[in-house]
Chain A
Amino acid sequence: MPKYTLTVNEKKQTVDVDAGTPLLWVLRDNLGLTGTKYSCGEGICGNCTIHVNGKAERSCVINVEDAVGSSITTIEGLAEKHDHPIFKTWIELEVSQCGYCQPGQIMTLAALLEQNPKPSRKEIDDALNSVLCRCGTYQRIRNAVDKLVEEGQ
């Protein structure tokens, strides 16, 4: 069986999985990083979003072999001290309901704000539009994003 060495949350880890295994399942089943969520498995919902070299990507449609050599960040590694401004704003505005989609929402937004702390409404919409939330937390996400952008985070 092939072995792949991945850099996840700044740690190098070797996993023994088949080529073609989606990174999502490697993170969840092999590395125990269950903060990255499975929902659609086809790149539609964004719940499995992680950062690959700082960019928001959907881990369910990345094959493990294509992730070798990249720097991967999951929700667990976004801010180990939990001091990320998104976390603080999310708690303050009580964005989350069931919480299942929230790691994907947060990882998507974090990548956007990292690249551009003052994104336009359109850029925000484009980034967040396909991260689905069945609980309907979009209004609070919007309020949280507005607050973060205003504070220049």
Chain B
Amino acid sequence: MKNSNKIKRRVFIKVVGLSGGGLFLASYVPLQNLLANTGDDPKIFAPNVFLKIDSNGIVTIIVHRSEMGQGVKTALPMLVAEELEVDWDKIVIEQADVDAKYGSQTTGGSTSIRRSWEPLRVAGATARVMLITAAASHWNVSSDNCYAENGFVINKLNNEKLSYGELVDEASKLSIPTDVKLKDPKDFKIIGKRIHRVDTPDKIYGKAKFGIDVVIPGMFYAAVSRCPSFGGSVKSYDAAKAKNISGFRTVVQISSGVAVVADSTWRAFNGRDALNIQWDLGPNAKINSDDIHNKLVNKSKADGYEFESRGDINKNIEEEKILDAVYEVPFITHAPMEPMNCVAEFKDGKAELWAPTQNPQNARSEVAKALGISEVDVTVHVTLMGGGFGRRLVSDFAVEAAEISKAIKKPVKLTWTRQEDMKFGWYRPPSLHVLKGAIDAEGKAMKFSHHIIAPSITQFRFAPDLPPKDYDIKEGTVGLEYQIPNMRIAGSIIKTPIPISWLRSVYNTQNPFAIESFIDELAFAANTDPVEFRMKMLPDDSRLKNVLKVLAEKSGWGIGKILPKGRGRGVALFKGYDSFCAQVHEVTISGNKIKVDRVVAVIDCGIVVNPDLVEAQMEGAIVFGLSAALKGEITIKNGGVEQSNFDDYEILTYNEMPEIEVHYVKNTLPVGGVGEVGVPPCAPAVCNAIFAATGKRIRKLPIRLDS
């Protein structure tokens, strides 16, 4: 505490700039010296918000999305640098603070690369064109006689060179061109390469600053006690015991509960635990998981709102074999390794936040609303984050920190415990899926109907009167690639008081589980190989079909079809986020134990910006998907969450890691998302593999072979 207090604000900002915000590559050091040696401030050329070049030649690229492990801090600058024609090892990468000028800064929905693909390349190309124009006019030659490479403009006629730094002044005076030409993919030098992550070294040396590591001068530490049942509130509290904790500073009531402020994290935790709070448990104190399950079941009896239909699902087909099944998934939670936290300082009517957020613009507006100040008076510095998976799209932790700082008139760091992270999350909703299907005498799928019943995140969070046509629960069930002549896709929502929100792939972790499992049921009923069965239903020009073909080949599907007893393999497909993914999972079952031995994944995400990052996202998505399928379950008792730590909310461990092989389809189609597309096929593929191994059809997650 004392140590950290000694750090002056000015110094701290620099520390954040180095490790938390900006990111400097090895070669930054000499450049920095160069900067330090010049007497005057360097001039800056910044033709757009994504890059700046100063007269010392330092090229800074600004990352406007949040780095949470997916690699945007590397991949987004690759897009700018490609078109800018700079030496990758010489750029400086800076994390953007919150600002509308960047467009959306929301890191979710696998959009960072997809939505930036064009604008960031245009940003780089625009600067390049201007630098070339500046050099051409300096040499008095036509721009056509010049080209850019490695941070220089070169005169083709005489090989003379001018560095970008030397051109800053002249380029700054030019008007900004509006229709620059982008590079042909065949000329890419950076895009498509296995460029190393720029932030790995600091992270593994323990130097990188995550949100939880931020320290600002004069900062106190806070912990919050929240009502054990959702929707409850504080009736009264007695802080006498908390006041006896050494280092206790104060206690304040905020909108979500009661906060204890102390001079260290541990003392804040202890102070919080020593509070004696009388809760008004609110209207939900009697709600249990069973009640929610029953609501789902009740709604499943109706037909639901029809999202899509084709042919006639009710017509009789000669010699048809009819199947029906009900699938169910529970609440699950994000549980990133870094619990929620935020540093906030409210001073002179303004709030400054250091937040591990996927959604700085939302954090800003929520904080402004909570504090009754205007958005322009809220600054959000986006820190590194120890995983996000959608949890950090919600700004509750930022609002809490800001409220506490405003109340105590001091900067404060709020840290949630793991237990609070488990109990006060924003959960992926549960769902029930009613499926019906029919195959004809030839074993062809003739009918398919799917009714999903689930709480709606959009309805819960934003639109109490959400019209059925806008139900978000249809994600992953409408627009299926399968050509089945008679289809009906419908949905019903239920309301629950349990906070729900987006979690890596959201409803795509639910609908495809039911659909791809049921398709497998149809394949077996038709006595057809599951890959072949799917192939027959996919149109020839389908990218998904191509992915499945590649998968069959890479996984050795069909070769040595008969696995030893107790082993099985299953397949599942998914399209979404402008990408296509198929996976084969191989399992060994001994008793009630499931071991996933091997996963082969094929992805078509169009142009691959950085193969290493794509592979890492696929590996991570598979672990995430398997954790949910094999273990993930949040249960509700008395209006609150029962689980509290990684011992009762387990995730996959090192021993359980399957061998994962990732293959991608090479093409030059527009870039697709990769952060989420690998999750949806996991649950169905592993369940289909279990069926192949044991003949037992799993229709409820998490998978429990003993029930």
Residues of A participating in the B interface, judged by any CB pair closer than 8 Å: 1, 17-18, 21-22, 25, 28-42, 44-45, 47, 74-76, 82, 87, 90-91, 94-103, 106, 125, 128-142
Q: Which of B387-438 contact A (CB under 8 A)?
A: 387-389, 415, 417-419
Q: Which of B610-640 contact A (CB under 8 A)?
A: 612, 616, 619-624
CA distance A21 to B268 in the complex (A): 12
Known: A75-B204, A96-B197, A97-B71. 8 other contacts (CB 8 A): A29-B264, A29-B266, A30-B2, A75-B206, A100-B203, A100-B337, A137-B616, A142-B657
The reply to whether A129 and B203 form a contact with Cβ atoms under 8 Å apart is no
The reply to whether B623 and A138 form a contact with Cβ atoms under 8 Å apart is yes
CB-defined contacts of A36 to chain B, threshold 8 Å: 206
A/B interface sample: 6 pairs, CB < 8 A: A29-B264, A30-B1, A38-B415, A42-B645, A98-B338, A132-B653
The reply to whether A76 and B207 form a contact with Cβ atoms under 8 Å apart is yes
CB-defined contacts of B386 to chain A, threshold 8 Å: 37, 39, 98-101
CB-defined contacts of B67 to chain A, threshold 8 Å: 98
CA distance A35 to B621 in the complex (A): 26
User: Does B660 lie at the interface of the complex (its beta carbon under 8 Å from any beta carbon of A)?
Assistant: yes
Q: Which of B56-74 contact A (CB under 8 A)?
A: 67-71
User: Do A137 and B204 form a contact, CB below 8 Å, given A39-B339, A97-B69, A132-B653?
Assistant: no
Q: Tell which of A25, A90, A138 has the most Cβ of chain B within 10 Å.
A: A138
User: Does B336 lie at the interface of the complex (its beta carbon under 8 Å from any beta carbon of A)?
Assistant: yes
Least CB separation from B7: chain A residue:
A32
The reply to whether A136 and B619 form a contact with Cβ atoms under 8 Å apart is yes
The reply to whether A38 and B212 form a contact with Cβ atoms under 8 Å apart is yes
CB-defined contacts of B203 to chain A, threshold 8 Å: 96, 98-100, 102
CA distance A107 to B247 in the complex (A): 31
The reply to whether A18 and B246 form a contact with Cβ atoms under 8 Å apart is yes
User: Do A134 and B651 form a contact, CB below 8 Å, given A39-B339, A41-B418, A98-B69?
Assistant: yes
CB-defined contacts of A135 to chain B, threshold 8 Å: 69, 337, 387, 620, 623
Chain A proximity of B57: nearest CB distance (Å): 27
Chain A proximity of B455: nearest CB distance (Å): 24
The reply to whether B418 and A100 form a contact with Cβ atoms under 8 Å apart is no
CB-defined contacts of B71 to chain A, threshold 8 Å: 97
The reply to whether B206 and A103 form a contact with Cβ atoms under 8 Å apart is yes
The reply to whether A106 and B267 form a contact with Cβ atoms under 8 Å apart is no
Least CB separation from B620: chain A residue:
A136
Q: Tell which of A22, A42, A87, A131 has the most Cβ of chain B within 10 Å.
A: A42
Q: Which of A37, A98, A137 contacts B619 (CB 8 A)?
A: A137
Chain A proximity of B126: nearest CB distance (Å): 31
Chain B proximity of A123: nearest CB distance (Å): 12
The reply to whether A99 and B205 form a contact with Cβ atoms under 8 Å apart is no
The reply to whether A134 and B389 form a contact with Cβ atoms under 8 Å apart is yes
Q: Which of A18, A22, A94 contacts B612 (CB 8 A)?
A: A94
CB-defined contacts of A21 to chain B, threshold 8 Å: 264, 266
Least CB separation from A98: chain B residue:
B69
Query: Chain B binding site: helix, strand, loop or mixed by DSSP?
Result: loop
User: Do A34 and B213 form a contact, CB below 8 Å, given A103-B204, A135-B620, A141-B654?
Assistant: yes
The reply to whether B652 and A138 form a contact with Cβ atoms under 8 Å apart is yes
The reply to whether A30 and B3 form a contact with Cβ atoms under 8 Å apart is yes
The reply to whether B657 and A90 form a contact with Cβ atoms under 8 Å apart is no
CB-defined contacts of B264 to chain A, threshold 8 Å: 17, 21, 25, 29-30
CB-defined contacts of A35 to chain B, threshold 8 Å: 205-207
Closest 5 CB pairs of A and B: A35-B206, A136-B623, A100-B386, A99-B203, A98-B69
Chain B proximity of A77: nearest CB distance (Å): 9
CA distance A31 to B208 in the complex (A): 16
The reply to whether B418 and A75 form a contact with Cβ atoms under 8 Å apart is no
User: Do A132 and B616 form a contact, CB below 8 Å, given A40-B645, A96-B204, A106-B204?
Assistant: no
User: Does B385 lie at the interface of the complex (its beta carbon under 8 Å from any beta carbon of A)?
Assistant: yes
CB-defined contacts of A103 to chain B, threshold 8 Å: 204, 206
The reply to whether A91 and B204 form a contact with Cβ atoms under 8 Å apart is yes
User: Does B199 lie at the interface of the complex (its beta carbon under 8 Å from any beta carbon of A)?
Assistant: yes
User: Do A40 and B655 form a contact, CB below 8 Å, given A74-B206, A96-B204, A134-B389?
Assistant: no
Chain A proximity of B18: nearest CB distance (Å): 14
CB-defined contacts of A82 to chain B, threshold 8 Å: 201, 205
CA distance A47 to B337 in the complex (A): 8
User: Does B255 lie at the interface of the complex (its beta carbon under 8 Å from any beta carbon of A)?
Assistant: no
The reply to whether B646 and A40 form a contact with Cβ atoms under 8 Å apart is yes
CA distance A40 to B490 in the complex (A): 41
User: Does B221 lie at the interface of the complex (its beta carbon under 8 Å from any beta carbon of A)?
Assistant: yes
CB-defined contacts of A139 to chain B, threshold 8 Å: 619, 657, 659-660
Chain B proximity of A12: nearest CB distance (Å): 15
The reply to whether A134 and B207 form a contact with Cβ atoms under 8 Å apart is no
CA distance A29 to B149 in the complex (A): 47
CB-defined contacts of B212 to chain A, threshold 8 Å: 34, 37-38
User: Does B215 lie at the interface of the complex (its beta carbon under 8 Å from any beta carbon of A)?
Assistant: yes
The reply to whether A91 and B201 form a contact with Cβ atoms under 8 Å apart is yes
User: Does B209 lie at the interface of the complex (its beta carbon under 8 Å from any beta carbon of A)?
Assistant: yes
The reply to whether B654 and A99 form a contact with Cβ atoms under 8 Å apart is no
CA distance A139 to B657 in the complex (A): 7
CA distance A75 to B197 in the complex (A): 20
CB-defined contacts of A34 to chain B, threshold 8 Å: 206, 209-210, 212-213, 215
The reply to whether B200 and A96 form a contact with Cβ atoms under 8 Å apart is yes
The reply to whether B200 and A94 form a contact with Cβ atoms under 8 Å apart is yes
Chain B proximity of A132: nearest CB distance (Å): 6
CB-defined contacts of A22 to chain B, threshold 8 Å: 266
Q: Which of A1, A44, A97 contacts B620 (CB 8 A)?
A: A97
CA distance A54 to B310 in the complex (A): 67
Chain A proximity of B681: nearest CB distance (Å): 15
Chain A proximity of B262: nearest CB distance (Å): 10
Least CB separation from A127: chain B residue:
B654
The reply to whether B655 and A44 form a contact with Cβ atoms under 8 Å apart is no
CB-defined contacts of A97 to chain B, threshold 8 Å: 69-71, 387, 616, 620
CB-defined contacts of A74 to chain B, threshold 8 Å: 206
CA distance A146 to B212 in the complex (A): 32
CB-defined contacts of A100 to chain B, threshold 8 Å: 69, 203, 210, 336-338, 385-387
User: Do A129 and B655 form a contact, CB below 8 Å, given A37-B338, A42-B645?
Assistant: yes
CB-defined contacts of B442 to chain A, threshold 8 Å: none
CB-defined contacts of B624 to chain A, threshold 8 Å: 134, 136
The reply to whether A133 and B337 form a contact with Cβ atoms under 8 Å apart is yes
User: Does B687 lie at the interface of the complex (its beta carbon under 8 Å from any beta carbon of A)?
Assistant: no
The reply to whether B646 and A45 form a contact with Cβ atoms under 8 Å apart is yes
Chain A proximity of B242: nearest CB distance (Å): 14
CB-defined contacts of A17 to chain B, threshold 8 Å: 264, 266
Q: Which of B201, B387, B623, B660 contacts A98 (CB 8 A)?
A: B387
CA distance A74 to B651 in the complex (A): 26
